[in-house]
Structure 1
Amino acid sequence: MSRPIDLVVVGLGNPEPEYATTRHNAGYIFIDYLANAISLAQGQAARDLPKFYRRLDLSADVRDTLFTSTNEDGSITNSFRIILIKPLTAMNESGYAVQKVLQHFGVNDTKKLIVAADDLNTLPGTLMIQSGGDLSAMKGHKGLENIVSVIGTEFIRFRLGIGRPISKTTEISQWVLTPFEKGNREMDLFGHLLHLTTQALYDYSIHKDLKRIKKKFAHNQKLPNKLTEMNSLVFPVDTHGF
């Protein structure tokens, strides 16, 4: 694809299958959800899974795609080239994969980078949006801390609310590495958040206005009275190639 890259969107997580639906894999789940949402919006059949390429040289699964919107007559109104990334490194080495990808695609402006990651300090179902700042804004999340140590803080963070454990006896390390639960509508809240975050990304793709998306989509927004029931947080993709 020869056109310029508009955005690089990275979802943080652990690549091992046993972590697939855990809270710490919120970023991975979002990337798979987003890949499917883009494919369906472009008219691809649900059976045609979005294709990621496992690039071991980049330490990441990569999907190079167009994010488009159309009028009722099918004509394209907006089109954006977006690189979707799932690092294959350990969480605390995510920055090295991000750096490799940016260099490979010739993206020198880190403001084109959006990183989606789980956030303990944001309520379930809600989104926090950040950019810039200092390292203290990333403290506590090893993936974000490592990215900052490699490329600095001038990138956008979509922090996906997972909240903290209700029980004070539950260790944080245990909490983040266990799956989202059906009880307390936790899965439903996260499903709502996936949709909300996709809307925020699309809005940002069009307007490139961070203040606008913070106002429209950030965590002070009220949750809907009725949530879509989520029976799974697995959004299948086709991963192959080197």
Structure 2
Amino acid sequence: MGRIRDFWSRLRGPRPEPVRAPSRLIVGLGNPGPQYALTRHNIGFRVVERLADRAGAEWREEASLDARVTAIELAGEDCLLLEPQTFMNRSGRSVAAACERWPDLDPTTDVFVVYDDLDLPTGRIRLRASGGGGGHRGIGDVLDELGTRALPRLRFGVGHPGSGEEVIGWVLGPFPEDEEAELPAAVDRAADAIESALRDGIPAAMGQFNGSS
């Protein structure tokens, strides 16, 4: 039996190293799958992926969290970047699982969530230390699962279609070419804002980044 277990172990390959306990958890919200990658709803994924790219970090699947994760150092902090793979409306399950796994993480100070916002023009960002879900089911589920509204977050504007009946198609659709061309700079600015929030605190970062596009 031992030789059989060894055979299957070699066949599966080496086990990945366990994820080290982070001091900060940075969550990007979105939907899994290539068909959603360039949609407005997935801008949260794109922001945390920019942070990972800057650090040269590689993503891995973490089944216990139902998420993709990678570890980076940002502003002197050991950060875990997390992309829930639960689909948007159940994002809170992954975030809550991470907080349960590392109970030293305080959602009110150590967890940071990035997501799309219909009420901001495309590319505009807003940092907040707390607040409600504003009708966004992804962040709403995170707040419900964590049991607090005092959750630091960055809202990334994706514009509004003008009619509530068109919202679902809007957020699940791609940016038009002219907006897509300008997104890299806006995503970079969002990544800078997160780093500033970790380094200088949210009030200081709000003063620097909330007042301009």
TM band (smaller chain)? 0.7 to 0.9
Of structures 1 and 2, the one with the larger relative CO (CA 8 A, separation 6+) is: 1
Aligned position for 1:118: 116
Q: How far has the Cα of 1:175 moved from its partner?
A: 0.6
1:61 aligns with 2:68: yes
Aligned residues between the structures? 194
Which residue of the partner structure matches residue 149 of structure 1?
144
TM-align CA RMSD: 2.1
- The amino acid across from 1:199 in the alignment is D
Greater share of helix residues, 1 or 2? Answer: 2
* 1:6, distance to aligned residue in structure 2 (A): 3.1
Unaligned segments of structure 1, at least 5 residues: 40-49, 68-77, 224-242
**Which residue of structure 2 aligns with residue 5 of structure 1?**
22
Q: Secondary structure at the match of 1:171?
A: helix
The answer to whether the Cα contact below 8 Å between 2:26 and 2:81 also exists between their aligned partners in 1 is yes
Whether 1:81 and 2:78 are equivalent positions in the alignment is yes
The whole-number CA distance in structure 2 between the counterparts of 1:143 and 1:59 is: 15
Q: CA deviation at 1:196?
A: 0.9
Partner of 2:105: 108
> Does the 8 Å contact 1:124/1:189 carry over to 2?
no
- One-letter amino acid matched to 1:25: N
Q: 1:60 to 1:107 in 2, by over 3 A?
A: farther
Residues in 1 aligned to 2:189 and 2:104: alpha-carbon distance in whole angstroms: 26
The answer (yes or no) to whether the contact 1:126–1:160 under 8 Å persists in 2 is yes
> How many angstroms does 1:132 deviate by?
2.1
Letter in 1 for 2:204: R
Superposed structure 1 runs of 4+ greater than 2 Å apart: 1-6, 105-108
The one of 202, 208, 211 equivalent to 1:216 is 208
Three-state SS of the structure 1 residue aligned to 2:195 is: helix
Q: Kindly report which structure 2 residues correspond to 1:186-205, keeping only aligned pairs within 5 A, or say none.
A: 186-205=179-198
CA distance in 1, matches of 2:119, 2:104: 31
Give the deviation of 1:189 after TM superposition.
Answer: 3.2
Once residues 203 and 169 of structure 1 are traced to their aligned partners in structure 2, the CA distance between those partners, rounded to angstroms, is 34
What is the aligned-residue identity percentage?
A: 27
